Structure 1
Amino acid sequence: MAILDTAGYIKVTEDVNDDRLAFLEAVRSASIVPENGSAPTNTMFEAIFQILKDEDSLELIMASYQLLIKLDKRFPRVYLSSKGKSELESPSTAPVEVVVVQEAWSPFSDACSGREEADKNSGRSLDPVGFHLLIQDLAKVADEAKSEASESKLLRNMLLLQYLVRVLEGDFIPRNSAFKSIISFCNFLCLQIALLAPVENTNWPLLRESLLNMLLGSRKIIYKGIIKDCLSVTCEMSQFHTESGDDMRGPEKASCILNGYGSAIAIALPEVEKCTCTAIQNLLLMIMDLDASKKIADLQGLTSRADSVRTLTAEIILDELTYNIDLLSPFFQVFGEPKWKLEIILQYFRKYIAKDKDTERRSDKMPSFCTRRSSGSADDTTFHGILKSFSDSSSTKSIIKKISGEVAQILLAHAFQAYLSLLSRHSVEGVCGSGEGVQDSSLVEVCKNMIAAFTCLKRTDVHTEILPLGKEALFTAATILATKS
């Protein structure tokens, strides 16, 4: 009973902690250690989650977090069938099958159902408001440089967020893979989804019922607020590591950290912060993938009034980066997914680069990044167009008047990184390999245009200093040209 003692009847903290550690070990021994171990009951899951959510003991926080991660791997709530996993490799086969364990416990199960009982279960699970407040708390702590934050609470909240994002991933990714498999199957057969099967037999309802979609669709939260707070957490924590990464090994810095947090947390905190940034990035990527799948469902007429209308995540991020320049560099340093990274940068440039109507109409009809079914030329053509906008002094001067030469350098350098990453990915996967956009001649042209763009920036404003990031991009472009010549 000490495990579930939320009323505080048991006053000896050490005894309570010992009992709870013994409980966690008993669950691990019964469910994880044996090859045929059985899944814990929902009440046991709730008790483990409550320990992670409410405890201050570092030992209990780490033990409960690790146990929950292992249990989720051993007993997934949503997964692709063994047949479905093999069929993902071939679009010519039937769409993959998803298995949903309806009776499985989830920290979002009551919170995302929209039922009134969710408030009564707030001690055991998180509703959408609680999830948003958790992100907000991390944003405030990062902004305050952790000067007044409790070290154990900070660590606990970061691990709690990492676990919740893992739960959302484990629920969303199999559902989204199944939805994409139908699209690939229809493309292979050159058929429309509406002709292939009735709407009710498609996998969009399965994706609509994902925890992520229900969480974001809740009327209790402000969707744009979650995205903005995610950006704040990501950028603030990345700045902390950038500013203090080398100094943290010095004796004065180490002494300050140890006095503030204690040796164990001081050692763990930097890595946990790094993993939290990764978790936030994964959350943003999931939301953008959900936006993309929903757009496909809209085009196929699969959505209904029950599907909430939301501003695209990429647009919200773009607006934040446009009106808060301080977020620009730290965000792109952390955000590593090349497809969306390049897309956001290209949209940023499109706001400030004048186009004639014919060019604008052509660009609206083609995607700005290479997909698995495209040749890659649309991506390259658009990126080439951006680079060529810096080929003469008049257009370059017009651009840097609006976004400054420093911002232009940051965007060009990160866009070049993303372009090279996409090129490498497609080459490894064998996708788009024969397309015009990924041929050596295209890469050579991009490298030449990169060097020309930075040269024109420097010529247009002689006082402009090339940033270290820009120098790295120029060195990479020059090295590629040397190897291709």
Structure 2
Amino acid sequence: MATKRRRGGDGGMEENTMAILDTYCFSKSTQHIADDRLSFLEAVRSGVLVTENASAPTNKMYKAIFQILKVDNSLDLIMSSYQLLIELEKAWSPFSFGTDVTSSEKHEDRGKISGSIDATEFHLLIEGLSKVPNEATEILNLEPFRNMLLFQYLVNVLEGDFVPRNLAFTENSDWVALKESLLNMILVSRKITYKGLVKDCFSAMCELSQFIRDCSHDMRPAETGSTEITEKWHTALAIALPEVVKRTCAAVQKLLLMMIELDSSKKTADLEGWTTRADGTRTPATEIILDELAYDKNILFPFFQAFDKPKLKLDMIIQYLKKYIPKTSVRTRRSNGSTNDSTFGGVLNCFSNGNSTKSIIKKISSEVAQLLLAHAFQAYILLPSEHSTESKEGIADNSLPNICNDMISAFTCLKNTDKHTGILPFGKEALFTAAIMLSRNS
């Protein structure tokens, strides 16, 4: 295993490797600087990844590679430094400070990701992701491309630190280890507001998701009379951009999910009395997202289109609809009692009653109701089996045939209640899927 490689006696290798960068001076040409940096990256790769009995990368090396990714304007260097950082993270996990770090430096770097970026910079990076659709296709503008890779790497570091700590909390109730995670250090920083960070993640996810759908056409730039090298550079960037945007959108979702998991763990710690006043209080990320969705219904579609975690997606839609379901008990032939609107089956039953349906669509419109039910149904059928950690238990109380029947009844009631709107295309797709599944189970 890479983590068992020799970690001592690497001073000579570090000295030789870092010497490549020490040759840097402002009198050199840009090409010479780029060549030196590429040589440095290759030397690190050879010294800590390829060579047998390789030495661990030191903190100085990490910072130097990270700095190249952070500031360089060469596509080759951006890609090479990003790839090397990812490979180092895999080979030398869990991420740790190198042997060259003093205790004072460790204290100073608490709350910094990779010891190179703090909460404020991280928040600014997320804010910038929302601008990618407007900036990414500008000729010779590598900044949004570089920032997306930078963000992906940082989320990778946060995940590598958070997941084992959260697992330890789940298994051993170790709240102290979880509160000292890099993610929590960022979120409790007084330099940022948690609510603002969640909102910016939400906004970035919606904007990037929309951009992905718009990227289905050929993004290669038109003829500009530029050199052959520049044209090849443009083409390479245009081909890579949609995939980089897609992975960045997935990284934003991963960050949101980690924040939601941290909120859940903190709630458990609060209930058990393991937290102190110093841990503070904050509005859960899920509530912030639901408030944003309620405030601007135009972002419902891009958000749920991008959000691909079935259980959480279904749970969010149920919580969203619960705000608009009449509080009075609703009796139907199938319910034989008061409707349980905390499950998907219960929500569908609320749409099988004309008065209840009319009350709901007065508040959110028939289009929004159809959108939410269609996405909820999609999430429901994607849920794993009851033996999985992400099962239907607790969010759906009926069998698949019953859910399919209730979907058809709900859309029939929506159509009868709002004759001017009718069934929209995505609603028809959901109904078609429900009918197919019913025929297979008959």
Which TM-score applies when normalising by structure 2?
0.84
Work out the CA distance in 2 between the residues paired with 1:164 and 1:74: 16
Partner in structure 2 of residue 136 of structure 1: 127
Partner in structure 1 of residue 438 of structure 2: 481
Kindly report the root-mean-square deviation, in angstroms, between the aligned alpha carbons of the 2 structures: 3.0
| Secondary structure, counterpart of 1:76 in structure 2 | coil
Does residue 388 (structure 1) correspond to residue 357 (structure 2)? The answer is no
Partner in structure 1 of residue 273 of structure 2: 301
Partner in structure 2 of residue 56 of structure 1: 73
Does residue 286 (structure 1) correspond to residue 304 (structure 2)? The answer is no
The answer to whether the 8 Å contact 2:69/2:77 transfers is: yes
Partner in structure 2 of residue 341 of structure 1: 313
Does residue 222 (structure 1) correspond to residue 193 (structure 2)? The answer is yes
Does residue 173 (structure 1) correspond to residue 132 (structure 2)? The answer is no
Partner in structure 1 of residue 335 of structure 2: none
Residue 158 of structure 1, CA deviation: 0.3
Work out the CA distance in 2 between the residues paired with 1:264 and 1:339: 37
Deviates more, 1:275-284 or 1:217-226: 217-226
Structure 2 counterpart of 1:133, which letter?
Answer: L
Residue 113 of structure 1, CA deviation: 2.4
Cα deviation code 1:329-371 (max 9, x no counterpart): 0110111111211121111111111224899xxxxxxxxxxxx
Partner in structure 2 of residue 243 of structure 1: 214
Partner in structure 2 of residue 3 of structure 1: 21
Work out the CA distance in 1 between the residues paired with 2:410 and 2:41: 59
Work out the CA distance in 1 between the residues paired with 2:100 and 2:347: 49
Partner in structure 2 of residue 458 of structure 1: 415
Work out the CA distance in 2 between the residues paired with 1:239 and 1:437: 29
The answer to whether the 8 Å contact 2:324/2:360 transfers is: yes
Work out the CA distance in 2 between the residues paired with 1:270 and 1:162: 14
Query: 1:31/1:436 Cα in 2 relative to 1: closer, same or farther (>3 Å)?
Result: closer
Work out the CA distance in 1 between the residues paired with 2:100 and 2:366: 54
Partner in structure 2 of residue 231 of structure 1: 202
Residue 310 of structure 1, CA deviation: 1.2
Partner in structure 1 of residue 94 of structure 2: 77
The answer to whether the 8 Å contact 1:297/1:303 transfers is: yes
Identity of aligned residues (%): 53
Work out the CA distance in 2 between the residues paired with 1:257 and 1:457: 51
The answer to whether the 8 Å contact 1:10/1:16 transfers is: no
Partner in structure 1 of residue 425 of structure 2: 468
Residue 383 of structure 1, CA deviation: 1.2
Following superposition of structure 1 onto structure 2, how do residues 18-417 of structure 1 map, counting pairs within 5 Å?
Answer: 18-77=35-94, 113=110, 125-142=116-133, 144=134, 146=136, 151-182=141-172, 202-245=173-216, 247-248=217-218, 254-256=220-222, 262-356=234-328, 382-417=343-378
The answer to whether the 8 Å contact 2:58/2:99 transfers is: no
Work out the CA distance in 2 between the residues paired with 1:449 and 1:166: 41
Cα deviation code 1:192-240 (max 9, x no counterpart): xxxxxxxxxx411000000000100000012111111111111112112
Work out the CA distance in 2 between the residues paired with 1:477 and 1:470: 11
Structure 1 counterpart of 2:28, which letter?
Answer: K
Work out the CA distance in 1 between the residues paired with 2:192 and 2:394: 45
Partner in structure 1 of residue 9 of structure 2: none
Any gaps of 5 or more consecutive residues in structure 1?
79-99, 183-201, 360-377
Residue 428 of structure 1, CA deviation: 6.3
Work out the CA distance in 2 between the residues paired with 1:293 and 1:46: 32
Residue 395 of structure 1, CA deviation: 1.0
| Secondary structure, counterpart of 1:113 in structure 2 | coil
Residue 111 of structure 1, CA deviation: 7.2
Cα deviation code 1:235-263 (max 9, x no counterpart): 11211222341x32xxxx54449999711
Structure 2 counterpart of 1:164, which letter?
Answer: L
| Secondary structure, counterpart of 1:404 in structure 2 | helix
The answer to whether the 8 Å contact 2:109/2:115 transfers is: no
The answer to whether the 8 Å contact 1:139/1:236 transfers is: yes
Work out the CA distance in 1 between the residues paired with 2:114 and 2:170: 37
Residue 268 of structure 1, CA deviation: 0.7
Which TM-score applies when normalising by structure 1?
0.77
The answer to whether the 8 Å contact 1:409/1:467 transfers is: yes
Cα deviation code 1:375-424 (max 9, x no counterpart): xxx9x9621111011112211111111001111111101111222222xx
Structure 1 counterpart of 2:21, which letter?
Answer: I
Match of 2:379 among 393, 418, 426: 418
The answer to whether the 8 Å contact 2:165/2:177 transfers is: yes
Partner in structure 1 of residue 13 of structure 2: none
The answer to whether the 8 Å contact 1:3/1:19 transfers is: yes
Work out the CA distance in 2 between the residues paired with 1:19 and 1:179: 45
The answer to whether the 8 Å contact 2:59/2:97 transfers is: no
Query: 1:470/1:20 Cα in 2 relative to 1: closer, same or farther (>3 Å)?
Result: same
The answer to whether the 8 Å contact 2:215/2:242 transfers is: no
Residue 169 of structure 1, CA deviation: 0.2
The answer to whether the 8 Å contact 1:450/1:474 transfers is: yes
